[in-house]
Amino acid sequence: MVEAEHAPLWASAEIAAATGGRIQGAPFDVYGVSIDSREIVPGDLFVALAGERDGHAFAAAAMALGAAGALVSRTVAGPEIVVADTLKALERMGEAARDRAALARRCAVTGSVGKTSVTQAIAAALALAGPSHASVKSYNNHIGVPLTLARMPRETLRAVFEIGMNHADEITPLSRLVRPHVAVVTMVGPVHVENFPDGEIGVARAKAEIFDGMEPGGVAVLNADDPWFALLSAAARAHGVDVRTFGRAEGADARLLEFRTEGGRASVSARVHGEPLRFALAQTGSHWGLNALATLLAVEALEAPREAALEALGGFAPLAGRGAETRLRLPQGEIVLIDESYNANPISMRAALTTLGAHPTGGRRIAVLSDMLEISDSPALHAALAEPILAAGVDAVFLAGPHMQTLDEALPASRRGAWRATAEALAPVVIEALRPGDVVMVKGSKGSKASVVVDAIKAKGEALGEPAGETTNSEPARAPVGEAR
C-alpha cells in the first residue's frame, strides 16, 4: 500500500493539463510512473507505450498489480488519461515536472565511456545534500530521459540525468528537454563510429549537442585529456557556457596527480582550483581517478557541498558489471572475480587492463575478453589490445568472438589461454583453467555476452564475504544506449 503521508507525485488533473489528455473514469493520484507492467508498484501511473510490443496489451495486468491509472492513446480498462500519443505525452509530463521543480539545478552527463558510473556517483553525492533526483541505471535515451523527468518530485533541489546516443541529432532534443545547468562530458571515443561518415569527429560533435539545451550561465565539465577537448570547449563557449576541466593535464581545474590502490580501495591525490586535495575511493579501477574529479566539479557546479561528494565517493562501490569484485571459493581454490561485463570499447578496455595489472594477486592475472561491438576498424582495434595486455603483465588471455580472434593471433603464444567463437563456449574452458590465487577480469560488449562467463564462474563457486560492490538500482534498465563502461 502507498503510505498516506507521502504526497502524490501527480494528480490525474495535473497529468491531463500537462499532456492535453482526457480523464476517463474517476480522478486518481499517482506516486510513481512506470512503462513496464512487470515493475508496477501500487499507486503507479502505467504509461502504455507503442513499440515492438504495444503497451496497451499490458494495461490490464498493470492495473491488476495496483496501478492507480494509465496513460493511453485508446481506452483500455480502469481509470486512465487518453492522449493522442503516449510518448509525446510522457515528454510533456517531463517538461511539466521540470518546470514545477522551480528550484532544482539539473546536471546532464554524456560521454563514450563512464557516463553511467559518473551519473550514479553524482547522484550518491546529491542524495547527501538534500532533496535530489537521478536517472536509474542507464535510462538515457528518448524514453528513459522523459521518464526520469516525469518521476522528479516537485521538491527536488538537485537532479542528474544520463544522456546517451547512437546517432547524430539524438542528444539535442534530450538536452532541450532536461535544460541542464551543468553538463559533463566524460570522454569521447570510437563508439558508434559506424553511424558517423566522418568518424570519431562526428561522435565528438554529437556529444557536443549536450550544450544545445543548457540554461544561460551554465557550466560544462570537460576532460582536459580528451583528444576532442578543443572541439568540445569551443562548442560549450559558443553557447555561453563556462568551462571547467578535469584531467592529468597541467592547468586543469581538477588535476589528477596520483592514483594509488591498496586493500580493495584507492586514494587520489589532486589539485582542485590550485589547492591540494587527497581523498579515498571505494573503487580500484584506474579510470576512477578522473571519474572522481569529474564528480567533484559537477557537484560543485550544482552548488552542493564538496563534503557530500567526498563522502559519497568514499562509499560508492562499483556498479554491477562495471568493476564489481567478488571473492569466490571454487573446487580448485579461492579466486577474485572482477566483473566488467556490462560493455566495452577500446578506451574502457585499456583502463580495465591497467586496473587488472595493478591488482595484487597470489596467483595469475587473467583477462577474459569478448568482442567489442559498434566500433569501426574492428580488426585493428582488437589486435591493438595486445599492447596494454602485455604492459599490464597479464599472464593469460581467454577470448570469445570472431573479432577477438585477431587479438588471439596478435598475442605471444605464452599469453594465449584459449579462443572460442562464443562466450558460452569459452566459459567452461576458463573455469577449467583457473587456479588458486588467480585474479580474473571479464570484459566485453553487452551484445557479445561476457556476462555469461561471469555467471558461469559464480555458479561454480561460493562467494566469500560481501562482494566488493554489487550496487544496482531497483529497476531494470530499459532500452539503454551508448554506455561503454
Q: Which residues of the chain form CATH 3.90.190.20?
A: 324-463
Q: Which of 17-26, 159-168, 456-465 has the lowest mean pLDDT?
A: 456-465
E-assigned strand segments in 310-415: 324-330, 333-340, 365-370, 396-400
The rounded mean pLDDT for the chain is 91
Cell numbers for 87: 510518448
Q: Which of 9-13, 75-79, 270-274, 438-442 has the lowest mean pLDDT?
A: 75-79
Higher pLDDT residue, 470 or 130?
130
Residue type, 314: G
For residues 324-331, give the mean pLDDT: 90
Give the 3-state secondary structure of residue 322.
Answer: coil
pLDDT of residue 288: 93
- Of the candidates 370, 351, 359, 355, the one whose C-alpha atom is nearest the C-alpha of residue 437 is 359
- Of the candidates 165, 103, 154, 156, the one whose C-alpha atom is nearest the C-alpha of residue 134 is 156
The pTM assigned to this predicted structure is 0.81
- Cβ within 8 Å of residue 148, ≥6 positions away: 94, 133, 134, 135, 136, 139, 161
- Of the candidates 233, 235, 257, 254, the one whose C-alpha atom is nearest the C-alpha of residue 245 is 254
Measured CA to CA, the distance from residue 316 to residue 9 in angstroms comes to 28
Higher pLDDT residue, 475 or 145?
145
Query: Given a cut of 80, is residue 447 above it in pLDDT?
Result: yes
Query: Given a cut of 50, is residue 135 above it in pLDDT?
Result: yes
> Helices then strands (H, E): number in the chain?
16, 23
Question: In this predicted model, what pLDDT tens digit does every residue of 44-88 receive, in sequence order?
Answer: 999 999 988 899 999 999 999 999 999 999 998 789 999 999 999
CATH fold for domain 101-315? UDP-N-acetylmuramoyl-L-alanine:D-glutamate ligase (3.40.1190)
324-463 CATH, one of 3.90.190.20, 3.30.310.160, 3.60.20.10, 3.30.450.20: 3.90.190.20
Secondary-structure breakdown of the chain: helix, strand, coil percentages, each rounded to the nearest 5: 35, 25, 40
* pLDDT band, very low/low/confident/very high, at 465 (cuts 50, 70, 90): low
Query: Given a cut of 70, is residue 118 above it in pLDDT?
Result: yes
- What CATH class does 10-85 carry? alpha beta
Measured CA to CA, the distance from residue 339 to residue 204 in angstroms comes to 28
Are 117 and 66 in contact by the 8 Å Cβ rule? The answer is: no
Q: Which residues of the chain form CATH 3.40.1390.10?
A: 10-85
Q: Which residues of the chain form CATH 3.40.1190.10?
A: 101-315
Q: How many CB atoms lie within 10 A of CB 45?
A: 30
Query: Given a cut of 80, is residue 473 above it in pLDDT?
Result: no
Question: In this predicted model, what pLDDT tens digit does every residue of 333-358 receive, in sequence order?
Answer: 999 999 999 888 898 899 899 989 98
